[in-house]
Amino acid sequence: MSEVNQLKEFINSPLYIRGKKAANRIWLAPMARLGNIAFRELVLSYGGCGLLFSEMVSAKSLPSGEGRYDGMRWSETELPILVCQIFGDDPIKMAYAANLAERKGFFGIDINFGCAMSIVKRKGYGAALLEKPKLAEQIVESVRNSITAPLSIKFRDGIDGNVQKSVDMAKRFEDAGADFLTYHPRNSRDIRTHRPKWENISKIKEAVSIPVFGNGDVFRAEECLKMFTLTGCDGIVIGRWALARPWIFSVLSGTGGPIPPEKAAMSYVKLLQKYFDQPHCLQKFKQWMHYFSANFVFGHRLRSRLSLCDSFEAVIPLLTDFFAKNPEESEQVQTALMR
């Protein structure tokens, strides 16, 4: 069997977690502001994605309903394969929010211990909690005791990048009741200045008995295969590459092929209009275009022109004009996305 077929066979093998089935081993990573309901629907329209994660939502805002406009918009059709990601530093509030989300019908709950954005860390959330292992463990225990659905943890290395601390955290998470882990082998100070240390994923995998998913700089089938073979991970979550090419899950799983970029861009325009008002449409499209434009040699020009748009109505003729000129596709997409 060829390596490509081996990869597809592994990707397409289901994973059962607390009696629930994830159809395959390649999932959409949780992404604040970018993994919104419109983008998730775009990904699902192409197929091949086994599980989705919501945008991260504050445990404080979810019960009040404010989270409905801050990462917590969903459709009934995606709920069976959608994991709700929450963040916060209060075990009781986190448990309450998780229980509320479970009652909405989500596949499972994910706790964010991986966000390295300064605004999040300054408040003591996300990756900042890795420096408070006892509190992080209490949060997991509290959430576990409040739900019966699958519970996952998204985390990365701590401030100093000491992998042994990450191993210890993984064990704590498992002991506290986590069902699977998603691990990004970069420290919380390093956004993208260095390549992730994939070899560290294998150390996490060896330390626990629950499934471990790898995350970080998977851009092509070759890298997907390398991560599987190098680390022994149980699956992979993809973020930036999915933003650039939302059809990547169908390609890697063998259920479909590449989609013309123009078609994908126009589809996303319609989906954003379906779910968001004008200001939010424009904001979200510009954020997404930062990644999607990496597909083209002169994608930066498209971004520059978009930055001048002050209404979403101006986006469509701009895209029409850009694609009418048959823009040259870039061979440096991966390099651009690593910046």
Q: What is the pLDDT of residues 133-188, one digit of tens each?
A: 999 999 999 999 999 999 999 999 877 778 999 999 999 999 999 999 999 998 76
Candidates 174, 230, 233; CA nearest to 205 is: 233
The per-residue pLDDT for 6 is 79
What residues contact 249, with CB distance under 8 A and at least 6 apart? 26, 28, 43, 46, 47, 48, 49, 50, 238, 242
3-state secondary structure of 91: helix
pLDDT above 70: residue 27: yes
Read off the pLDDT band of 69 (50, 70, 90): very low
Distances (CA, A) of 39 to 98, 103, 182: 23, 24, 21
The span from the CA of 52 to the CA of 37, in Å, is 10
When pLDDT is averaged across residues 216-221 and rounded to a whole number, the result is 82
The span from the CA of 54 to the CA of 60, in Å, is 16
Assigned CATH class of 3-253: alpha beta
Domain ranges of the chain: 3-253, 261-337
Distances (CA, A) of 144 to 80, 108, 154, 159, 167: 19, 11, 15, 26, 20
The span from the CA of 74 to the CA of 58, in Å, is 16
Check if the beta carbon of residue 154 is closer than 8 Å to that of residue 144: no
Q: What region does 124 belong to: left with phi over 0, alpha with psi -120 to 50, or beta?
A: left
Distances (CA, A) of 324 to 77, 240, 251, 318, 327: 35, 26, 26, 10, 8
Q: How far is CA 331 from the centre of its chain?
A: 24
Which position has the higher pLDDT, 192 or 160?
A: 160
* Look-up of token digits 């994923």: 201
Read off the pLDDT band of 231 (50, 70, 90): very high
Check if the beta carbon of residue 120 is closer than 8 Å to that of residue 147: no
Looking at residue 312, the DSSP 8-state letter turns out to be G
When pLDDT is averaged across residues 232-257 and rounded to a whole number, the result is 93
Q: 28: part of which helix (H) or strand (E)?
A: strand 26-28
Q: What is the pLDDT of residues 41-50, one digit of tens each?
A: 999 999 999 9
When pLDDT is averaged across residues 13-21 and rounded to a whole number, the result is 96
When pLDDT is averaged across residues 281-305 and rounded to a whole number, the result is 93
Which position has the higher pLDDT, 2 or 84?
A: 84
The span from the CA of 70 to the CA of 166, in Å, is 29
- Residues annotated as part of the active site: 115
Which position has the higher pLDDT, 175 or 333?
A: 175
* Runs of H (alpha helix) within 80-220: 91-104, 118-121, 133-146, 163-176, 199-207
The per-residue pLDDT for 164 is 93
The span from the CA of 334 to the CA of 1, in Å, is 28
The per-residue pLDDT for 25 is 96
User: Among 86-90, 219-223, 266-270, whose mean pLDDT is lowest?
Assistant: 219-223
The per-residue pLDDT for 336 is 58
The per-residue pLDDT for 67 is 46
The span from the CA of 288 to the CA of 337, in Å, is 12
What does the angle CA 169 – CA 33 – CA 300 come to, to the nearest 5 degrees? 115
How many CA within 13 A on the CB side of residue 220? 7
When pLDDT is averaged across residues 218-229 and rounded to a whole number, the result is 85
The mean of the pLDDT values for the chain is 90
* Residues facing residue 182 across a β-bridge: 154, 213
The per-residue pLDDT for 339 is 55
pLDDT above 90: residue 131: yes
Q: What single letter denotes the amino acid at residue 73?
A: R
In the numeric block, which tokens belong to residue 145?
């005791």
Candidates 52, 50, 29, 79; CA nearest to 252 is: 50
When pLDDT is averaged across residues 53-62 and rounded to a whole number, the result is 88
Check if the beta carbon of residue 294 is closer than 8 Å to that of residue 334: no
